[in-house]
Amino acid sequence: MGIVKTKDGGEIFYKDWGKGQPIVFSHGWPLSADDWDTQMLFFLNHGYRVIAHDRRGHGRSTQTGDGHDMDHYADDLAALTAHLDLKNAIHVGHSTGGGEVVHYLARHGESRVTKAAIISAVPPLMLKTEANPKGLPKDVFDGLQAQLAASRSKFYRDLPEGPFYGFNRPGAKASEAVIGNWWRQGMIGGAKAHYDGIVAFSQTDFTEDLKKITVPVLVMHSEDDQIVPYIASGPLSAKLLKNGTLKTYKDFPHGMPTTHAETINADLLAFLRS
């Protein structure tokens, strides 16, 4: 593990294990690098160097009062890759982390990157607008902020217990260990970062970012994603990318890297080796 300083004086916590071609993991809201434990161990054992950071205001990174937007997220990721002097890196992002990866590639270029994958990711745009009629209404995200402000601890129990992992689906068996780990990661981070982060992941339009990217990108999304609806995300991102490949799952949840790690890891590995 280590610390990298940001331009505005913050500190970003990261893990860096192993040798070989680097894979950099960007986590979802409001979690931490720990959400990638299963993937990091898997790819470490397959000869890769694995790196994951806690986004600013999340996990063990500085709980800054501002900068909780995609520009800062991308700049912090760029600071990390420069600090480690990464070359031929593969970037993998889940949910909000998928937006972070896309914005990083568009904003800072691809000189250090060879491939990327975005999983259950927020691009192109989650918010419903005239140009994006399949998105979600703003009051959905206003409601998330209201729940967070009223009782973050309760909100962080309800979300993984329900739609995040699909435990609200008929016949699904909830895992207390998975729910508790989600709550633990969320509560370590800062309320202000998480509150502002809802705007960052829901209102950032990644359309032009996606058009700029030329490296191969695997877009992994499930038709049953209850957090980032499939109809307004995965297929649209794949079409906007110059070299995008869409991998669709039928009934996996938003948090499929956890609930279906064996499948996700195998599909990621096949893409990296292709």
- Residue 108 pLDDT class (50, 70, 90 cuts): very high
User: Who's near 274: CB < 8 A, 6+ residues apart?
Assistant: none
Phi-psi region of 9 (alpha: psi -120 to 50; beta: other; left: phi over 0): left
DSSP H or E run through 196: helix 191-203
CA nearest neighbour of 30 among 186, 239, 156, 144 = 186
Phi, psi values for residue 87, rounded to 5°: -135, 145
**What domains are defined for the chain?**
2-273 (3.40.50.1820)
Give the CA distances from residue 171 to residues 157, 174, 260, in Å, rounded to whole numbers and listed in that order. 20, 10, 16
Catalytic site positions: 95, 225, 254
184-229 pLDDT, tens per residue? 999 999 999 999 999 999 999 999 999 999 999 999 999 999 999 9
Please report where in the chains the tokens 């998105």 appear, as a residue. 135
- pTM of the entire predicted model: 0.97
